[in-house]
A = this chain, B = another copy of it.
Amino acid sequence: MRSLKYAILGLLCRHPMTGYEIAKEFNYELAEFWYANHSQIYPELKKLNEEGLVSYDIEISGEILEAKRYTITEEGYKEFDKWLNKDEKMQKTPKDIFRLRMYFSGNLDMEARIHLLENQRQQHVKRLNTLKKRFEQYSEVPPRNSDRFGDFVVLRGAIMRQQNIIAWIDECIGFSKEDY
């Protein structure tokens, strides 16, 4: 499916970037729904360049240190736009190790089960608070044709997702504590 290809092209639509900057982006804002390590990004950029979808200029910092600043080409933009407009089948529900564990939780006693749930809950609450903090920067919905609109809706989605997981965990804790 070459998803990484489109993730990179999409970022380059905004403005030219180096591989290093793309990697940072993939480990901060985008990390809510996409990520990649530099070891995947550099080869992909090389490939995109060979395919004529991006080009680059070399920038020098100090005396020697080189950085390749990549720009999307006309052809690259066309391909990205085609992808962006394409209807897609809903993706398979993602694998979730914690849910797998809960699926098998009949093998656990009450204390162990609740311990696992509380531990997971705590981590998700922490995550949620980070997201909420980041959300504070938006005093209103950004213009819908701006880049910030995209940032805004996925951040909102990430918050809702976290809240939902916490609600589920709370239900699970409740079910585990009740006596039947």
Partner among B10, B92, B180 whose Cβ is within 8 Å of the Cβ of A35: B92
Residues in B whose Cβ lies below 8 Å from that of A101 = 84, 88
* Inter-chain contact A97/B91, CB cutoff 8 Å: yes
* Inter-chain contact B178/A168, CB cutoff 8 Å: no
Smallest beta-carbon distance A18→chain B, Å? 20
* Inter-chain contact B150/A105, CB cutoff 8 Å: yes
- List which A3-29 residues lie within 8 A (CB) of chain B: 3, 6-7, 10, 13
Give the docked Cα–Cα distance between A77 and B134 (Å).
44
CB-CB under 8 A for A106 and B146, given A94-B94, A97-B3: yes
Question: Can you report 12 residue pairs joining A to B where beta carbons are below 8 Å apart?
Answer: A31-B92, A34-B95, A34-B99, A81-B107, A89-B123, A102-B157, A106-B147, A106-B148, A149-B175, A157-B172, A160-B167, A160-B168
